[in-house]
Amino acid sequence: MTFENLLFNIDEGVGTVTFNRPKVLNALNNALLSEFSDLLGQVAENEEIRVLVLTGAGDRAFVAGADITELATFNPLQGKAFARKGQNTIQTLQELPIPVIAAVNGFALGGGTEMALATDFIYASENANFGLPEITLGLIPGFGGTQRLPRLIGSNRAKEIIFTGGMINAKDALEFGIVNRLCAAESLMADTLDTARRIASKGKVSLRAAKESVNNGLNADLATGLLVELDAFALCMASDDAKEGTAAFLKKRKAEFKGKRNE
């Protein structure tokens, strides 16, 4: 797969997407969003890919936000269409049936933070910075930032970040619960890929069920969430992966999961 604004490779069941516009700090424009949306569709259908990793080209930025040069040319209807495109693409990312990890190297601002928030968790370099600076442009976050950030860290802290437009350094992002782990810049990708490979060694069916159970349960009360989990557990029990996993345990050998996500 060849793209103008993305790099993509698959290794040991892990797909890695690199946002590749380093001259503009990997800023999001219409062309990149279209390519990324197309790629996500291909990833969702590819049984070889068990985990997806996102990162940015260069050592300065993951994604430094929307491309302001393009954004400044939009009228209100074009701006709404661009925001809808960003929201839809990022929602597709969040709904992928495989785990997704963001490896944030440098600036993740505006759409970069919004992109990272839609992954399952974030590893960040010690020099990473997050933020939603749209208020400084007379705008608000338009790719889901006003919705995902409060759900993750609470409304009061999210409002302060959104209202001030200020940046959050890596240490504070870890404390706030935005980031799972801080890594030295030089080891960020190695650390992220190590975790990705450990996840990729697990069963596809159970990974999908676990992700859907957590995500769907968060949108329901506890009693409903437990029913979601119950159904997902039962579906796992019917899978080839469950048969392999339990047999491997009883025979004291390593499990070799070969099930398909749509079982």
Residue 174 lies in a domain: yes
Whether the per-residue pLDDT at 227 is higher than 70: the answer is yes
28 shares a domain with 71? yes
234 shares a domain with 124? no
Neighbours of 53 (CB within 10 A): 21
Phi-psi region of 110 (alpha: psi -120 to 50; beta: other; left: phi over 0): left
Residue 261 lies in a domain: no
Handedness of CA 21, 6, 170, 93 (dihedral sign): positive
Whether the per-residue pLDDT at 94 is higher than 90: the answer is yes
- Chosen domain end from 142, 175, 200: 200
Q: What is the pLDDT of residues 159-214, one digit of tens each?
A: 999 999 999 999 999 999 999 999 999 999 999 999 999 999 999 999 999 999 99
Task: Round to whole Å and give the CA distance between 159 and 157.
Answer: 5
Residue 131 lies in a domain: yes
pTM above 0.85, yes or no: yes
The number of folded domains in the chain is 2
244 shares a domain with 153? no
Cβ distance 85 to 114 under 8 Å? no
Q: How confident is the model at residue 1 (pLDDT cuts 50, 70, 90)?
A: low
Task: Round to whole Å and give the CA distance between 133 and 210.
Answer: 33
Q: How confident is the model at residue 260 (pLDDT cuts 50, 70, 90)?
A: confident
Q: What is the pLDDT of residues 9-25, one digit of tens each?
A: 999 999 999 999 999 99
Q: What is the pLDDT of residues 237-259, one digit of tens each?
A: 999 889 889 898 998 898 888 87
103 shares a domain with 29? yes
Residue 55's DSSP bridge partners are 18
172 shares a domain with 86? yes
Residue 262 lies in a domain: no
Which residue has better confidence, 175 or 219? Answer: 175
**What percent of the chain is modeled with pLDDT above 90?**
89
CB contact burial 228-258 (16+ within 10 A = b; e otherwise): bbeebeebbeebebbebbeeeeeeeeebebe
Q: What is the pLDDT of residues 98-116, one digit of tens each?
A: 999 999 999 999 999 999 9
13 shares a domain with 119? yes
| Residues designated as active site | 114, 134
Residue 78 lies in a domain: yes
Whether the per-residue pLDDT at 215 is higher than 80: the answer is yes
Q: What is the pLDDT of residues 134-148, one digit of tens each?
A: 999 999 999 999 999
Residue 29 lies in a domain: yes
218 shares a domain with 171? no
Q: What is the pLDDT of residues 23-43, one digit of tens each?
A: 999 999 999 999 999 999 999
33 shares a domain with 12? yes
Q: How confident is the model at residue 133 (pLDDT cuts 50, 70, 90)?
A: very high
Q: Could you tell me which of 101, 104, 206 has the C-alpha nearest to residue 214? A: 206
Residue 240 lies in a domain: yes
216 shares a domain with 174? no
Q: For the residues of 100-116, what is the DSSP string, one character each? A: EEEEE-SEEETHHHHHH
- Chosen domain end from 200, 229, 258: 200
- Chosen domain end from 200, 215, 238: 200
Instruction: Indicate which CATH number applies to the domain containing 45.
Output: 3.90.226.10
152 shares a domain with 24? yes
Eight-class DSSP state of 66: B
Instruction: Indicate which CATH number applies to the domain containing 223.
Output: 1.10.12.10
151 shares a domain with 21? yes
Residue type, 82: F
> Pairing mode, if any, of strands 6-11 and 14-19?
antiparallel
Q: At 55, list the tokens.
A: 């990162």
Q: What is the pLDDT of residues 52-69, one digit of tens each?
A: 999 999 989 999 999 999
Residue 259 lies in a domain: no
131 shares a domain with 109? yes
Domain range enclosing 102: 6-200
